[in-house]
Structure formats: C-alpha cells, structure tokens
C-alpha cells in the first residue's frame, strides 16, 4: 500500500503541469499513513528525494515536529524558560498563545521556503500528527491557499477515502481542498 502511494505521489509532483491541483485549486496532497507504513516511510522519502534530484526537482523532507521546535526555539532566542513558566502558571492563555505562535511561525516558514526553492521545489512533511495539540492542521492549509504554487505533501497519520480524511483517526480534516491519497 505504501509503495502504491509513493508511486502515485511521484507521478503527481514530478511534472510541471500539476493538473491534479486544478481540480482543487491548491497544490496540497494529504497522504494517509498507518502505523505499519510509518516504519518504512523514511527510506521511501529518500528515494523520492533522489528521483526528484535526477529529474531536476529539489525535494525537501521536513519533520514538522522538529521544525516547530526549532522555530519556537529561534523565536524565543534559544531560551524556552519563559514558555515553561507561562505554561505552568497560565495554562489556558499559554495554550492560546502557543497555538497562534506555532501556526504563524510554520506558515511563515513555508512561504519563505517555497519562495527560496522556486518552482521546481517540492516540500514533503512528516510527523504531521504532532501538530494536533498545537493548532488545527486545517487552519494551516486554509492560510496557505493561494499563497504557494509548489506541491506541499503531508504524510498524516489517519485514514482517508475519496471524500473524507480523518487525522489520527479522530480529527476530521476533510474541509481542506487538498488532494487525498
């Protein structure tokens, strides 16, 4: 099953036509992945990256969990002490502020990176389920609509069919116009 998804993903992102994105109007692909597929994902992504390079595409593989941590650390000048204290004493306000901050930081990073790598760039995100405690993933996709023109591929733990995508088998993210695999 994972091999089929990878092959379909390659055929979708390694061309400049991107006809599939015209049906939804956005160049986003959400790929449902289960626990057993997760074990074999990294080598498959490295193959995609190498195939892309051979075909003239720059493919970035991004662990979204690590990225969020690095972005937050940078935003806090390499010192998370205030955040820890804020969480300890003002949890409700902390959650709201951190959600807004993380969503903003990730959104800005994606826009900047998409512009840097240009039209032959492709970004593949892993560990997308880690966003669930921080912000609604569909908010990110909504904010990115009409802002990026290169394919953004998200490997999301969950299940999908032709009309619904359930992240972590709990959160319905079907409201996005992304292409589901």
Distance CA 161, CA 87 (A): 38
pLDDT tens column, 62-100: 999 999 999 998 988 888 888 888 877 887 887 788 888
Q: What is the pLDDT of residue 23?
A: 58
Q: What is the pLDDT of residue 20?
A: 63
Cβ neighbour number for residue 128 with a 10 Å cutoff: 25
pTM of the model: 0.88
SS3 146: coil
Q: Which residue in 5, 2, 4, 13 sits closest to 152, CA to CA?
A: 13
| Ranges in the chain, pLDDT < 50 | none
Q: What is the pLDDT of residue 161?
A: 78
């Amino acid at each position: 099953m994972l091999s089929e998804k990878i092959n379909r993903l390659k055929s979708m992102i390694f061309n400049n036509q991107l006809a599939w994105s015209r049906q939804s109007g956005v160049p986003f692909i959400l790929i449902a992945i289960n626990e057993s597929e997760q074990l074999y994902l990294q080598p498959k992504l490295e193959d995609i990256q190498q195939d892309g390079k051979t075909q003239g595409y720059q493919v970035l593989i991004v662990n979204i969990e690590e990225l969020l941590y690095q972005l937050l650390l940078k935003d806090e000048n390499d010192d998370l002490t205030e955040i820890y204290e804020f969480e300890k004493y003002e949890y409700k306000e902390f959650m709201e502020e951190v959600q807004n901050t993380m969503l903003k930081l990730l959104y800005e990073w994606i826009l900047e990176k998409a512009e840097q790598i240009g039209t032959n760039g492709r970004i593949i995100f892993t560990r997308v389920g880690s966003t669930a405690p921080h912000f609604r993933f569909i908010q990110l996709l909504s904010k990115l609509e009409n802002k990026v023109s290169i394919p953004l591929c998200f490997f999301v733990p969950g299940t999908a069919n032709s009309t619904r995508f359930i992240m972590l088998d709990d959160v319905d993210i079907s409201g996005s116009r992304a292409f589901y695999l």
